[in-house]
Amino acid sequence: MDRPLRVAIVGSGPSGMYAADALISQTETPVSVDVIDKLPVPFGLVRYGVAPDHLSIRSVRDTLDKVFDKPGVRFVGNVEVGSDISVGKLHGFFDAIVFTYGASRDRRLGIPGEELDGSVAATDLVAWYCGHPEADRETFERLIPSTTTAVVVGVGNVAVDVTRVLAKTLDELTHTDMPEYVFDTLRESSITDIHVLGRRGPAQATYTTKELRELGELLDADILVDPTDLVFDAASEQVIAGDKAVARNVEVVKEWATRIPSGKSRRIHLHFMARPVELRGDARVREVLVERTKLDGSGGAEGTGEIFVIPADLVVRSVGYRGQALPGVPFDESRNVIPHLDGRVQNANHEVIGEYVAGWIKRGPTGIIGTNKKDAVASVASLLADASKLPTAPFATPDDFDAWLAEAGVHAVSNEGWRAIDAAERALGATHGRDRTTISTNHDLLRAANLICD
Ligand code: NAP
């Protein structure tokens, strides 16, 4: 080929950025990469998923951002593949496409009352406090000031994140980049109690120790664990003996179970062996019916029929993310992922030429940010191995793609546009004495990118 291989990466979260980096950092095959995102800003869940008070994890952004400084990597934001441009059309401009659009939807509990007002997905709450342009501000700004008791379902890291953010004082959050309206709402919060429900035992929880420990170190929230919830069967003991991380998690909750509450304004009640079976209320959720569970000897848990009730005005369902299908791309409906073999997209056991996948939409929503690096590098290795036999795209210059977008009336955000947004967010943060404040509407982001004016 007498020109660089043109690759589109669909999704600019960690796996997309790691894929771009892997493509541009090798020297054997000259490559030109466009990282396309439906939002005007890059970095996906690093921007809109990682808790704002986890500054060291959020600083991964700076590492990812350096990829845009490398020649041959372009950001193409505010372009939704599947609506602004179809996957089929994209093939006209790129020799290969890597899908890295993640898994941003919530999983459901499937219990009665789940649709009541006041029952929300953790993904939506996180999107709101991170300043996502599509966040439902009205709902959270109404619910949080009118909630006394919240129930968080699930004991993964997302459940720990939302619990911590709801339990923290404003002073503990003031250094974050959350939009001003989030501070205003949290200032009005009337939450005193947060119940966190794990349906299995402490040896089966999926949070990590560092994140868990933070719940016991909050300025104005006590942590309460009922010692009778700390149930371990032979299978649990085996896991504890063989996995140091699990053993540490168990030690943390055992210590908490000995603590006497010190009279702080908020309480976090961490429950195990407890699963919600129904949400009840009027228009709004008012109570959660919780069934006690017992371990089934093989790592799972089953109901005992014993029910207790937790009065609650807010239920946050933090039971995992799920991926979504993209029109024109094969999708495994049972696992909510794009089927693949070594990162090559598969359609009914046939390879889809020129399509690759990496990250959560490839393997499901698991692992830490760094897990996506190895995953993306592996998929890119498959792409590069195929490079010489990929059909060449007919309109394969950045100018061709830009011209098509402009003609279609799409205001694409370029590297320069993103840099302008970045500078505007830093300037906005400085007005509040912070490093950065997130700009939270598409309109304001596009204005900051100098794409619209008013
Ligand atoms: P997760 O770790 O899979 O946790 C989901 C939780 O929901 C589990 O406790 C699960 O219990 C529970 N659950 C699922 N279905 C349920 C049901 N029907 N009823 C009751 N409980 C149910 O997922 P996540 O917390 O959404 O996190 C996603 C990924 O992002 C994870 O890999 C996580 O580590 C990562 N993450 C990392 C950080 C960080 O490093 N600081 C922060 C946020 C997220 P079972 O285990 O019994 O199924």
For 297-324, what is each residue's pLDDT tens digit?
A: 999 999 999 999 999 999 999 999 999 9
Both tokens of residue 224? 């309460």
48 closest CA partner among 9, 100, 93, 103? 103
* Complete domains list, the chain, with CATH: 5-104+323-413 (3.40.50.720), 106-316 (3.50.50.60)
Which atom of ligand 1 lies closest to the CA of 367?
32
Distance 168 CA to ligand 1 centre (A): 21
Please provide the size of the chain in residues.
454
User: Is the Cβ atom of 319 under 6 angstroms away from ligand 1?
Assistant: yes
User: Is the Cβ atom of 339 under 6 angstroms away from ligand 1?
Assistant: no
Nearest CA owner, ligand 1 atom 14? 319
User: Is the Cβ atom of 272 under 6 angstroms away from ligand 1?
Assistant: no
Strand ranges (E), 51-201 = 73-76, 96-99, 105-106, 119-121, 149-153, 193-197
Distance 160 CA to ligand 1 centre (A): 9
Distance 318 CA to ligand 1 centre (A): 7
User: Is the Cβ atom of 371 under 6 angstroms away from ligand 1?
Assistant: no
Give the confidence band of 401 by pLDDT, cuts at 50, 70, 90: very high
Pairwise CA distance, residues 365 & 359, whole Å: 8
What is the predicted pLDDT for the residue at 26?
97
Distance 305 CA to ligand 1 centre (A): 24
How would you label 38-72 residue by residue, b for 16+ Cβ within 10 Å and e otherwise? bbbbbbbbbbbbbbbbbeeebebbeebbebbeeee
User: Is the Cβ atom of 370 under 6 angstroms away from ligand 1?
Assistant: no
What is the predicted pLDDT for the residue at 104?
86
3-class DSSP assignment, residue 379? helix
- Mutation probe of ligand 1 site: the residue of 249, 271, 319 with most atoms within 8 A of C-beta: 319
Contact call for residues 411 and 24 (beta carbons, < 8 A): no
Contact call for residues 441 and 447 (beta carbons, < 8 A): no
Residues 168-201 have pLDDT tens digits of 999 999 999 999 999 999 999 999 999 999 999 9
Residues 420-429 have pLDDT tens digits of 999 999 999 9
Distance 175 CA to ligand 1 centre (A): 27
All residues at 6 or more sequence positions from 276 whose CB lies less than 8 Å from its CB, including other chains: 109, 111, 151, 153, 197, 288, 289, 290, 291, 315
Which atom of ligand 1 lies closest to the CA of 198?
9
In degrees and rounded to multiples of 5, residue 317 shows phi and psi of: -90, 105
Residues 65-103 have pLDDT tens digits of 999 999 999 999 999 999 999 999 999 999 999 999 999
Distance 235 CA to ligand 1 centre (A): 20
311 closest CA partner among 281, 268, 271, 269? 281
In this prediction the pTM is: 0.96
Say yes or no to pLDDT of 1 above 80.
no
Which atom of ligand 1 lies closest to the CA of 320?
26
194 closest CA partner among 311, 285, 284? 311
50 closest CA partner among 102, 93, 92? 102
Say yes or no to pLDDT of 454 above 80.
no
What is the predicted pLDDT for the residue at 453?
83
Distance 53 CA to ligand 1 centre (A): 19
Contact call for residues 186 and 173 (beta carbons, < 8 A): yes
Distance 122 CA to ligand 1 centre (A): 10
User: Is the Cβ atom of 102 under 6 angstroms away from ligand 1?
Assistant: no
Q: What average pLDDT does the structure give for the chain? A: 97
User: Is the Cβ atom of 53 under 6 angstroms away from ligand 1?
Assistant: no
Pairwise CA distance, residues 68 & 12, whole Å: 11
195 closest CA partner among 114, 311, 88, 39? 311
User: Is the Cβ atom of 159 under 6 angstroms away from ligand 1?
Assistant: yes
User: Is the Cβ atom of 321 under 6 angstroms away from ligand 1?
Assistant: yes
Which atom of ligand 1 lies closest to the CA of 300?
47
Nearest CA owner, ligand 1 atom 4? 156
Pairwise CA distance, residues 161 & 156, whole Å: 9
